[in-house]
Amino acid sequence: MKRQTVTKLEDVDRLEAHILHSVETTIQLLKGALESGDGLIAFAKLKFTEAGRDPLNAARPLNLVEQLNQTFTYLASLAGARWLLQHHPECAPLVLNLGTAPGFDIESECGHFIAETFAVTHPGSNGKLRKDVRKLKGEERTHRFVFYLSLVARREFNVPGITVVRLEHRALAALR
């Protein structure tokens, strides 16, 4: 289920609905864990148990830290796919390689569009933006993109032939 094909915005909405369902399922499960009265024990449950759920399958237990990371990485890929479908409808269908699926994070089936996506506190964290740009530099495609979710915008990051886009999502808007 980590490799997904989207052809229209409704496909992106459907995948995001799965992610949001997993988030809500986890929140309900966490309420009890956090009311235990012992903060360290609650933190231990969050760190060492499968207190979370797989973002695309709420029935599958997953470590909460993994769920957090995967949730926002997947949302970045979905937001990137949404942006591409809105700005370049000719790119459809798109293949999303979520999680550990091999390939670029987003690829058009026609082969002309590729993108890497990520979600971070700051786009310069761990050199993620530079690493993704470097990964795309060696690829001969008509359109190459790096999409990211972050509260912080990267200033003037221009790379010839690669478009870098800071994406918006309602979860980030709520934090501003």
In a domain, 116, yes or no: yes
What is the rounded distance in angstroms from the CA atom of residue 42 to the CA atom of residue 61? Answer: 17
Residue 3 β-bridge partners: 97
Structural domain of 149? 3-10+76-173
pLDDT at res. 149: 93
Find where tokens 């002309």 sit.
112
In a domain, 98, yes or no: yes
Residues 113/140, Cβ–Cβ less than 8 Å: no
Q: pTM for the whole thing?
A: 0.91
In a domain, 71, yes or no: no
Q: Write out the chain's pLDDT in tens, 176 residues.
A: 689 999 999 999 999 999 999 999 999 988 877 776 788 888 888 889 899 999 999 999 999 999 999 999 999 999 999 999 999 999 999 999 998 888 999 999 999 999 999 999 888 888 888 899 999 998 888 899 999 999 887 666 678 899 999 998 888 888 87
Q: Are residues 93 and 165 in the same domain?
A: yes
Domain count across the chain: 2
Q: At residue 60, what is the residue type? A: R
Residues 106/84, Cβ–Cβ less than 8 Å: yes
Give me the helices (H) in the chain, please.
Answer: 9-34, 39-48, 64-87, 128-137, 170-173
| Eight-state DSSP code of residue 88 | -
Q: Are residues 91 and 147 in the same domain?
A: yes
| Eight-state DSSP code of residue 150 | -
Q: Are residues 49 and 99 in the same domain?
A: no
